């Protein structure tokens, strides 16, 4: 069962499975940038890591909310597309893992926040497709200026949406991606776009809190509104 309403909500966060090194060791490891953990803690939650191995959707019974984290390119095979030359470092096992968790979370009405790749996975899981190399669509590299350098995105939010309720009608933040939503899944509603037309936020119809953003809100510890909203929704779910 989920924790009682007096406890801090338990927030599961999906992780990477990547080659890593620490001390004298070089081995595969489940990884997650610390900024996700700090954001959940600062917003009032308890972070729990969900590695992409041994996937079992019943783990969601232990959680009060779920974050689908950013990361590598989504495998085009997940939406029946031919790989683009710029699509690289895909992890089909992670795609499958996150799709299972996304579907289970929606079925259970578990509050869900999907970030960057997470928004892309949310769209693909629900039947949408992706632009595999965004610079070909928007004719600039602003969403991923150079390796390991974040861009800055400003977005216009649709009024009357959950996204607007949390962020107002103008938002944005650090971004780092070269893929983005193309065909939007039938049950997904676009709630924010960048000036160049890129889908920057979307919500799942008919759910209290199932929201994805294309930027990285965890990178700005001064603006925790999305994480606080997730924690608030998770408290409602607890009760």
Enumerate the active-site residues. 116, 216, 218
CB 204 within 8 A of CB 176: no
Instruction: Give 191: exposed, middle or buried? Use CB within 10 Å, 0-12, 13-18, 19+.
Output: buried
Residue position matching structure tokens 């996304």: 102
CB 221 within 8 A of CB 215: no
Distance CA 141, CA 146 (A): 8
Q: How many helices (H) and strands (E) does the chain have?
A: 6, 13
34 sits in which H/E element: helix 34-43
Distance CA 220, CA 42 (A): 12
Cβ-based neighbour number of residue 215 at 10 Å: 30
CB 193 within 8 A of CB 200: yes
Distance CA 61, CA 105 (A): 9
- Picking from 77, 60, 76, 78, the residue whose alpha carbon sits closest to that of residue 68 is 60
């Amino acid at each position: 069962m989920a924790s009682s309403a007096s406890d801090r909500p338990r927030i599961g966060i999906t992780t990477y499975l990547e080659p890593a090194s620490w001390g004298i060791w070089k081995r595969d490891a489940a990884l997650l940038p610390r900024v996700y953990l700090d954001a959940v803690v600062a917003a009032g939650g308890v972070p729990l890591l969900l590695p992409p191995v041994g996937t079992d959707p019943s783990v969601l019974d232990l959680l009060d909310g779920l974050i689908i984290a950013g990361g590598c390119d989504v495998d085009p095979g997940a939406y029946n597309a031919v790989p683009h030359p710029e699509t690289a470092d895909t992890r089909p096992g992670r795609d499958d893992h996150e799709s299972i968790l996304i579907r289970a979370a929606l079925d259970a009405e578990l509050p869900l926040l999907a970030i960057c790749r997470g928004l892309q996975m949310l769209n693909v899981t629900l039947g949408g497709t992706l632009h595999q190399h965004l610079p070909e669509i928007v004719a600039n590299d602003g969403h991923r200026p150079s390796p390991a350098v974040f861009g800055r995105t400003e977005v216009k939010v649709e009024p009357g949406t959950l996204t607007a309720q949390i962020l107002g009608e103008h938002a944005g933040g650090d971004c780092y991606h070269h893929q983005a939503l193309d065909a939007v899944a039938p049950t997904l509603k676009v709630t924010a776009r960048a000036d160049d037309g890129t889908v920057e936020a979307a919500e799942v119809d008919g759910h209290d809190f199932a929201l994805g953003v294309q930027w990285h809100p965890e990178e700005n510890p001064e603006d925790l509104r999305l994480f606080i909203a997730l924690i608030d929704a998770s408290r409602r779910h607890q009760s």
